[in-house]
Structure 1
Amino acid sequence: MSDSVPEPVEARPWRPDDGPPPHVWTWPRTDPPALLVWSHGRWRWATVTARQDRADGTIVYQVAVDLTGSTSVTTRLYAWPQPGLRVGHRSASEPSDRLPFGTSVPHAPPR
């Protein structure tokens, strides 16, 4: 059954011509949510590092994931929902859209 699951399509980073910047949410590093990403024939654990709520209504998750099982972790953006993504773990913590402690610049979308 899993062999018919398509690999998820990556979302492109937000650009100024997309409209207003996305509303960005993060979780405590000690309790992030996780997604399962279908890649190379297996479900791979992907730690969520941020959620972007874009002006067009699209929800995009930024994740850290090892797509091949090689222990090489990369950052990817995926629009939610799609068949190649599943909830892996829900955080017990509420997300925040506040600036991280000690910073004076708003969250910037991933580049």
Structure 2
Amino acid sequence: MAQSRSLLQTIIHAAAERLADDPCIPAENRAAFRATAVTIFEQQVSAVLGADTVRISGWIIPPSVRQDRRERIERALRDGETPKAIAGRELVSERYVRKLRAELAGAGTDAP
């Protein structure tokens, strides 16, 4: 089983993914570009912060934004999206998405 990513790793990988998906990057070069971008981001974080490991705790998100995100996640679960896909898009852990899915199932909604 793959180790879950930290918040910083999730941000780095999401940024690399978005950069690699730019239309000016040829499709055959995207995987290499993505991998290189992740490496460069990680090296820069290490160089700037002077550490191999960085722990970042979540920032405070206004309740209305949290509620909007939760509603998007619940809608995506009802639409049959996987927890992994939802977590990657919403920048939350898969565990959180699975927890919401269990809550929906326990509440008798039509979530998978």
Is the helix fraction higher in 1 or 2? 2
Query: Which protein has greater RCO, CA pairs closer than 8 Å, 6+ apart?
Result: 1
Superposed pair shares fold, TM > 0.5: no
TM-score with structure 2 length normalisation?
0.21
TM-score with structure 1 length normalisation?
0.21
- Structure number with bigger Rg: 2
Is the strand fraction higher in 1 or 2? 1
